[in-house]
Structure 1
Amino acid sequence: MPRGAFSAVGVAAALSVALTACSSSGGTPAAAPGNAQGGGSLVVGVTSDPDTLFPWKATQFTAVNVLQNLYGTLTEFDKDLNVVPGLAESWETSKDGKTLTFKLRQGVTFADGSAFGSEDVKASLEKIMDEKTAAVARASLSSVESVKAPDENTVVLELKSPDAALPANLATVNMAMLSSDDTEEKLTTTPNGTGPFTLGKRVPSQSITLTRNDKYWGPEKPKVGSVEFRVIPDESSIVSAMQSGNVQLAVFNDPLVAQTAEGGGTITVTKTPQLNYHVLQLNARRGDLKDVNVRLAIQCAIDRKQVLDTAALGEGEVTGPMTAPAFKSDPDKRPCPTRDLAKAADYLAKAGKSGGVTVKTIVSQGEYATSVNEAQNLKAQLAEAKINLDLEVLESGAYVDRWVAADFDAAVALNGGRPDPDGSYGRYFTSDGNLNKVAGYSSPTLDKLFAQGKATTDQAERKAIYDQVAAELEDNAAWIWLFAGYTYTATTSNVQGFVPMASGSLQYLRTTSVG
């Protein structure tokens, strides 16, 4: 979840996401307290504590949202998910597409005051590429042959083959640029980035406070003196905190909670369609799920619209693998576009499992609001096809640990989508992808298709290639894609300037002010 001649157009250039305000009401909650730096302070309500402060390993949503405000990346996404300059002020691609030359911004410093330069970029990219680092975005650099730093402000990437997805992939916080002097051990407790904020104070399981970085390189300094991410375990309680003026901003997943918030008369709610997707992940390397017929039986036994209606009040749309508008999958192009229990029974019979199967399934409680309801609905539907989802509900941190370790048969998940399909799935479904263990599925066909998708910059060709990727995933029921929903950004009336994004990013906290 994210530029130059070919990069400026970018694979995400066609994306433009409309933000629809659900309501706007009067009333003024208690003002946020002032800050010695000026600009006041903003309190953001979140349901979970960040599980890591090391950006290269962050997968949990709260951790990503905190870290993207502490660290910088070579490229960034603008509000419409176009790829734009970040720590690299420009770049050029060679005619053969195999050399990418970045010109870095000058005068950028890390939080500790040390200067940012090409050696930091070289060290960061090489460490991300090193399998020993276990960086979650390592596969996004699979096309990179070498990284050179010919001078303090220039970085040259020599590629094995053209990579149309690389500029967009460099925009995620999992590609954060770190000081070459820092270590993972140090950064786990003391982040040291080039972002708009620096770490202020952390109270584990309660709050984490960021303070404005007055040396931030951006054209504007952050408008608030501090941002506190306050942990409040459930979304309904966050609404109460907003109504009393103790929290000024929150992003909800539950549409019912959003309706409650906007009904109070003091909160504005903005509804934003998301690239993120709700999915039942299947581990095709474990137990009965090794048989494609069992996986197809699960696919055919699920009414996705019922899951959407039950868990999210119908707020969203049934989806296939590709959620980005420029590459969107047709959810009807799958073996069972609608629920078909007879076909599910046939698939189980082909697998020699007419008596049924049991699938141990992990579910996160607290990471997002609809997870348990989704799991319970899936369990009820699949029971009618003699497929038992044995649910294990885990708190957010324990769930992430099990998920990263691929310690599950199935997982009810909300995964971050990205503007480019390679960024979304290249690390999952290629045989050498660093999250392939988590995905539980790969094939020579997918390896070939992903390589082709990166090798061309022609938008129509890339769309056709990723349509084939989607077909391969659906026809083999690698996972069961359910629906893409919305986020609901709630702000009190004294908050201005925050821009919700289809990627779920909170990067525009840097433009937010508190009246």
Structure 2
Amino acid sequence: MSRRTLLGTAMAAAALPLFAGQSMAQDAPKKGGVLRVAMGQANTAEGLDPGTYATSLSIAFAFCRGNGLTEYGAQDEIVPELAESWEASPDARIWTFKLRSGVTFHNGKALTSEDVVATYNYHRGEASTSGAKALLSDLKDVRADGDSTVIFELANGNADFPALTAGFALIILPSDGKGGVDIASGAGTGGYRIQSFEPGVRIELVRNPDYWKPDAAYFDEIHLIAVLDPAARNNAVISGQVDISERNDTSTLALLAQDERVIVDETPSAAHNNFAMACTMAPFTDANIRLAMKYGVDREDVLRKTQFGHGYVGNDHPIARSNKFFNTELEQTAYDPEKARYYLKQAGLDSLDVELITSEGAGSGAVPAAELFSASAAAGGINITVKRVPGDGYFSDIWLKSPFAASDWGGRPTADLAFTVAYAKDAPWNETHWQNARFNELLVAARTELDEPKRKAMYWEMQEICNRDGGAIVLNFANWIVVRAKKVAHAEAISAQWPLDGYKAFERWWFA
């Protein structure tokens, strides 16, 4: 069985030009130039600690300056990065990673197993507040076996463990020599070193002359610039102020595609747009209220008017159609005002007044989607007041803290990761604060189950539980949209795990 089969990364990975006349560049890569990128999400509270990252600016920054043990390849398969190989025990509980030799951090320190152990212990420590902590909850021990071998011991088997090590939060940091990690220096093993750093505003990096990948990191400099307004991002790339803009508004794609100065790349993805109902806060503590809300939104209308057909409707769980464990028999929750009223009555209500917080920083179309939800829900007795707030600080001040708020999610390569990050009990990024005993029982059981039909049945049931009981209204799965100047070139196939080639464009793309 190949690693690709084992990990179940069945997502389509080719980037599709919006119109047939736009062809993919196939020129040989060459070095040089300053790449300026308009990023659609940012947070001034996100500094040098990758465990705090949740916005596109910081995720891109992480992959510019650092590497994980593994990474997503162009076909969304898991491939070696700082680890040159790995192997598992028969029960997938013990994983042994062999590190690549000749890798150094930006501060000149050689990469050793001590750095890997320190990094993982930092994120999983008892006092850790890292977003990666939930992913490592099953990690019983991590230890070095010499300078170039690391052994991970899990409490239970996990066939998907290598995919976990590709996460942006888990780029390897240098050890401080005392069991901890050196965060303050900003040193990593990546293709670019920090030149200037304004958190949530602008980050400038220069090529690492000692980068261990010989055919990567072609640009002289990378400038990551927070541009939270979609129209401003479009204008910036068209006018030549930046070379790339990401997370673009789909309403303008047809016009952009006709502009001879740019190329529009559209990539199918597992990214999705949500409205999160906090299950620990009134009125969403009642599952009947949550169901009423789900029947009160016209997903097809939202998809048509906010994504302009560039995606497909969601069904209140994070598993994309491309995932091999997608539940093909789960009935789609469709707009039904009468059912919305029915579930309100089950909760003892004739009507419901709620506030929905949204922002342009919460994802493409998040503001008009909220307004459309407000309009459709009224027929079901649900009165939604839409509160629009600035994008800056949204993911630190609003997200995870408000009873009802918009969000968007990048895809995860496996069903286990998708559920563990945002739906597991006490996960730091469990945006709905939802806890379901049966779901959490199945999550652990599916992770350790090596019989694929049994595992499939578990994931199917988990999707059904999310659909009927969960606090996430998954509106749609949206394609990644990136607009680039014609001089920016890339290979034909690119990763769809995140925009911008899985945020690896900075080392994989080049100026033609």
State TM-score, norm by structure 1: 0.90
Question: Aligned ranges for residues 148-187 of structure 1 at < 5 Å?
Answer: 148-181=143-176, 187=183
Given candidates 341, 344, 348, the residue that maps to 2:344 is 348
CA deviations over 1:5-61 (Å, ceiling 9, x no partner): 8746431343333322124779xxxxxxxxxx9611111122444541321110112
Verify: 1:411 aligned to 2:408, yes or no.
Answer: no
Give 1:100 deviation, angstroms.
Answer: 0.6
The answer to whether the Cα contact below 8 Å between 2:271 and 2:409 also exists between their aligned partners in 1 is yes
CA distance in 1, matches of 2:260, 2:180: 46
- Cα shift at 1:374: 0.8
Aligned pair in 2 of structure 1 residues 403, 203: CA closer, same or farther (>3 Å)?
closer
Structure 2 residue 374 is matched with structure 1 residue 379 = yes
1:218 is paired with a residue whose SS is coil
Q: Does 1:502 align with 2:501?
A: no
For 1:10 and 1:196, how far apart are their aligned partners in 2?
29
8 Å Cα contact 1:253/1:368 also seen in 2: no
Distance 1:154 1:245, change over 3 A: same
Corresponding residue for residue 16 of structure 1: 12
Q: 1:246 aligns with which of 241, 246, 254?
A: 241
2:272 to 265, 277, 285: 277
**Which has the larger displacement, 486-495 or 87-96?**
486-495
Residues 330 and 388 of structure 1: is their aligned pair in 2 closer, same or farther, counting only changes over 3 Å? farther
TM-fit CA distance, 1:487: 1.9
Which of residues 79, 82, 90 is equivalent to 1:84?
A: 79
Give per-residue Cα distances to partners, 1:55-104, cap 9 Å, x unaligned: 11101122112211111111111112111111111011012322111100
- Kindly indicate whether the alpha-carbon contact (under 8 Å) linking 1:98 and 1:160 is maintained by their aligned counterparts in 2: yes
1:167 partner SS: helix
Q: 1:310 is matched by which residue type in structure 2?
A: K
Q: Assess, with a 3 A threshold, how the Cα gap between structure 1 residues 285 and 483 changes in structure 2: closer, same or farther.
A: same
**1:339 corresponds to 2:332:** no
The answer to whether the 8 Å contact 1:7/1:167 transfers is no
Paired residue for 1:476? 469
Tell me which residue corresponds to 1:33. none
Please give the per-residue CA displacement for 1:308-365, whole angstroms capped at 9, x wherever unaligned. Answer: 112122221012321161246458724x6221111111111111111x1222322122
TM-score using structure 2 length: 0.90
Q: Which deviates more from structure 2 when the two are superposed, residues 60-69 or residues 490-499?
A: 490-499
* Alignment-derived partner of residue 30 in structure 1: none
Residues 229 and 302 of structure 1: CA distance in aligned 2, closer, same or farther (over 3 Å): same
Q: For structure 1, which segment, 263-272 or 393-402, has the greater mean C-alpha deviation from structure 2 after superposition?
A: 393-402
Residue in structure 1 matching 2:428, options 415, 431, 434: 434
> Using the alignment, how far apart are the partners of 1:204 and 1:408 within structure 2?
24
Distance 1:233 1:474, change over 3 A: closer
Rounded Cα–Cα distance in structure 1 between residues aligned with 2:463 and 2:339: 21
- CA–CA distance in structure 1, aligned partners of residues 329 and 402 of structure 2: 28
Q: Which residue of 1 aligns with 2:220?
A: 225
Which blocks of at least 5 consecutive residues in structure 1 are unaligned? 27-36
Q: Could you tell me whether the CA contact under 8 Å between 1:497 and 1:511 is conserved in 2? A: yes
Pick closer, same or farther for the CA change 1:109–1:24 going to 2, 3 Å: farther
Matches within 5 A, 1:53-452: 53-181=48-176, 187=183, 190-203=185-198, 206-320=201-315, 321=317, 322-323=319-320, 325-327=322-324, 329-330=326-327, 333-334=330-331, 337-354=333-350, 356-403=351-398, 406-436=400-430, 438-452=431-445
210-219 or 322-331: which moved more?
322-331
- Counterpart for residue 34 of structure 2: 41
Does the 8 A contact of 1:88 with 1:104 survive in 2? yes
Q: Quote the Cα distance in structure 1 between the aligned partners of 2:201 and 2:142.
A: 41
Q: What is the rounded CA distance, in whole Å, between the counterparts of 1:375 and 1:477 in structure 2?
A: 19
Name which of 482, 486, 491 aligns with 1:493: 486
Paired with 2:236 and 2:422, the residues of 1 have a C-alpha distance of 38
What residue in structure 1 maps to residue 26 of structure 2? none
CA contact (8 A) 1:331 1:337 kept: no
Q: What is the number of residues matched between the two proteins? A: 496
Structure 1 residue identity aligned to 2:508: T
Deviates more, 1:275-284 or 1:358-367: 358-367
Structure 2 unmatched runs, 5+: 23-29
* Alpha-carbon separation, structure 2, partners of 1:383 and 1:216: 57
CA gap of 1:431–1:275, structure 2 versus 1, over 3 A, is: same
Say whether 1:467 aligns with 2:464.
no
Secondary structure class of the residue paired with 1:287: coil
Q: CA deviation at 1:241?
A: 2.8
The more displaced of 115-124 and 361-370 is 361-370
The answer on whether the counterparts of 2:11 and 2:496 sit within 8 Å (CA) in structure 1 is no
Deviation per CA, 1:96-153, whole angstroms, max 9, x where unpaired?
3221111001111111111111011111111111141211011111221111102000
Q: 1:34: which partner in 2?
A: none
Q: Which moved more, 1:148-157 or 1:407-416?
A: 407-416
SS of equivalent to 1:413:
strand
Q: 1:261 to 1:134 in 2, by over 3 A?
A: same
Indicate the SS of the match to 1:101: strand
Secondary structure in structure 2 of the residue aligned to 1:509: helix
Distance in structure 2 (CA, Å) of the matches to 1:345 and 1:331: 28
| RMSD value, Cα | 2.5
* CA distance, structure 2, for counterparts of residue 444 and residue 456 of structure 1: 18
Q: 1:466-505: per-residue Cα shift (whole Å, max 9, x none)?
A: 1111000111142111111112222222111266432222
Matched letter for residue 417 of structure 2:
G
- 2: CA distance between counterparts of 1:58 and 1:16? 26
Determine what percentage of the aligned residue pairs are the same residue. 25
Shift of 1:399: 1.5
Q: Distance in 2 between matches of 1:235 and 1:428?
A: 26
TM-fit CA distance, 1:408: 1.0
- Residue aligned with 2:254, SS: helix
Q: Counterparts of 1:333 and 1:307 in 2: how far apart (Å)?
A: 21
Assess if the C-alpha contact under 8 Å between 1:319 and 1:331 holds in 2.
no
Contact 1:21 1:270 in 2 (8 A): yes
Equivalent-residue separation in structure 2 for 1:61 and 1:197 (angstroms): 17
Could you give the per-residue CA deviations for residues 271-305 of structure 1, whole angstroms, max 9, x where no partner exists?
Answer: 11121111111111111211111111111121110
How far off its partner does 1:380 sit? 1.3
Aligned partners of 1:6 and 1:442: how far apart in 2? 35
What amino acid sits opposite 1:412 in the alignment?
A
Task: Work out the CA distance in 2 between the residues paired with 1:497 and 1:385.
Answer: 48
CA contact (8 A) 1:364 1:371 kept: yes
Contact 2:307–2:365 (Cα < 8 Å) also in 1: yes
